[in-house]
Structure 1
Amino acid sequence: MFKKNGKNRDPVPMLTAIAIIMCFMSIFAPFIVMIIFQDVFYYQKQQNSWIFQAPMSSYSLCGAAILYVGIVFGLLAYYRSNWEGKKLITTAATAIASIPALIMIYITINHYYYMTEEGSYHNHLFAMKETLYQWEEIEQAVAVSNYNENNSEVTLSELQLTTTSGEVLSYRYNRELIRNQRPIRNALEQNNVELQQRLEGKEGGT
């Protein structure tokens, strides 16, 4: 009987499989990764806030980071199938090449915003700390709706808050925001800000 020598196993099929899986995961995994990690690290903030969201750009960047890891493993598989090299060197090179993706995923997890009775807190991309926009700083509020010409439906798209400095803060309408419209509207009214309506996508709309 001959014993199988584990050292001689070809790693290329496994590396190729990992590369393919990571590329496919880049489409839907960001939503899972972002939700899980933000629930773990920012649970207390979510409990004490009216809404807690991550910008869609964060999901896109997280997906790009996962896709990047898949490409790294794909290149490693290609290298191992065409050139003989030291395993330790190629493994170390893969680990180093994956560091930017891990950093980007960490940054996207820390990119979020949430609302409380004090105002709107934003942790901007690459920011070291949160920025608070107090309700007193909001001078205009617009609920933007989109008109779909195919089925003649109107759907709420985003809430836009404009600060006294001219900065526009956008929040996409989801179930959480729709459910908590009342306290947000009350906070605006207390500061004499009327929630305006704007329809986009229809001829004659703005």
Structure 2
Amino acid sequence: MLLMRKKETSEEKSVKLVAYTIILYISSFFVPFVIVASFQSLVYFSRSQWFFATPFSAYITFMAGMFYIAVVFTIFLIFRQKWDGNNFKIITGLLLLISIPAFYFSLTNYYYLDDKGVHYNSLMSVNEKEYKWENVHTVHIVYRNHQGTVSNYQYKFELNNGSIITLPYDDKFAENVGRIEDKIQQFGITVKDNFKNPVLD
């Protein structure tokens, strides 16, 4: 009787794990957009910011982390009867731990602009970096030719030390172009563009 209950419990756990795995596969396509955006708005957003944005790389990385866990669960379910034992469970647990950096770096990948300058935390960076307006040497406005229509594509901020921060031209950015132009005039920043030779898409 005890063995029967133990077997049933094991089967129930397997069924639940299969369900969790399927849910992970499906939810990995939309949950990252909810979790990453919600977390960053609670932790990093400030009223002093002109706008706050999350790079698409953050969502993709979080999605990859969820998908990776689902794959590990799938492998565990396939080989658990053949390799059943503590060692196999320990290896599976270690494989799951590998996904932690993906979630951490995706949650800390963001950028925003304010009166001080451009603030950017890249995907593989631990700390946020501040690029002050007075250190911006040139602003490169990148245009794109998409199906015959030329429009803004990116803004590249080139610093005095030669490094470049590239930000996409989206709706949030467009709403704050006036503020950026004010800073360009205030600090005498050089502006260049490729309007006559746009990027072909």
TM-score of the superposed pair, with normalisation by structure 1: 0.80
Aligned partner of 1:182 among 178, 183, 186:
178
CA distance in 1, matches of 2:11, 2:121: 47
State percent identity of aligned pairs.
21
Q: Tell whether 2:112 aligns with 1:110.
A: no
Give the corresponding residue for 1:41: 43
Structure 1 residue 194: Cα displacement: 4.3
Displacement after TM superposition at 1:67 (Å): 1.2
Number of matched residues?
A: 194
Runs (4+) off by over 4 Å: 88-93
Bigger mean CA offset, 114-123 vs 11-20: 11-20
Q: Does 1:162 align with 2:158?
A: yes
Say whether the 8 Å CA contact 2:108–2:126 is kept in structure 1.
no
Runs of at least 5 residues in structure 1 that lack an aligned partner in the other structure: none
Aligned partners of 2:137 and 2:121: how far apart in 1?
A: 21
Aligned counterpart for 1:197 among listed residues 182, 189, 193: 193
Inter-CA distance 37–95: structure 2 relative to 1 (3 Å threshold): farther
Query: CA deviation digits over 1:21-54, x for unaligned, max 9?
Result: 323333333222210110121133xx21112222
Give the superposition deviation at 1:119.
1.0
Amino acid in structure 2 at the alignment position of 1:161:
F
Is 1:22 the equivalent of 2:18?
no
Distance 1:117 1:11, change over 3 A: same
Task: Give the direction of change, closer, same or farther, for the CA distance of 1:33–1:10 in structure 2 (3 Å limit).
Answer: same
Determine if contact 1:161/1:170 at 8 Å carries over to the other structure.
yes
The answer on whether the counterparts of 2:45 and 2:52 sit within 8 Å (CA) in structure 1 is no
Describe how 1:1-206 pairs up with structure 2 within 5 A.
Answer: 5=5, 6-44=8-46, 47-80=47-80, 82-83=81-82, 85-86=84-85, 93-149=91-147, 152-199=148-195, 200-202=198-200
Alignment RMSD: 2.5
- The 3 A distance-change label for structure 1 pair 162 and 84 is closer
